[in-house]
Structure 1
């Protein structure tokens, strides 16, 4: 979506080869494969320098990560982002519809909001099936 709608370059990271293959196919179908780098990796231990991405987007990822590793995921996203982090995560209702039968565990959205707020200012969009949180890693003071 970012490569198509915002004409930017994207690094797609996933621990699953199958998910990466699906993403490559989808990118080719959208005509944006040339603007996306696909890398197999663990989002709780990213091999990138601090602040190397302007924006980090996590779209429905957290509930796929073990509960014990979710804080580390947020920390890594904050470490590699220089401007903002966008986290879209299923509400309990959305989780129950999409993952009615699965081994995944729903994300405690109050925990998520508190965790993100510990890093900076957060805007929140509350949806029926998914909430979106935008964490701004800069302040008005350091923009002037």
Structure 2
């Protein structure tokens, strides 16, 4: 790859002398320090919106998308509410069920082939599991519990 010597020297100078950089990168450096300060001052749980609002409260005008871009660049993430839901806990000791239809989920007439499925629904009491029996031909739920 060929690079003009003048372009190479300019890039090296910009790296060594911050005042030669473009205005956006200069302001980004200053804003990054403010974003890190706000994020650390709030126990590293603030996300983009809360950091943005806090900076406005402190009199530092900045766009929300700029805060988002710089937080992503710095690797800062806000805490997520709730706990991670783990719905499947595989047991290596148990055998896998047989595939009785050989992955052929088609039927020529109603009630020829039924399949089962289940899912979970979040409720105030916790996770509720719902099981369905589905007619493959009609693609309708035959029963549920």
What TM-score bracket applies, with the shorter chain setting the length? under 0.3
Structure number with bigger Rg: 2
TM-score (norm 2): 0.21
Relative contact order (C-alpha < 8 Å, sep 6+): which is higher?
1
Task: Report the structure, 1 or 2, having the larger strand content.
Answer: 1
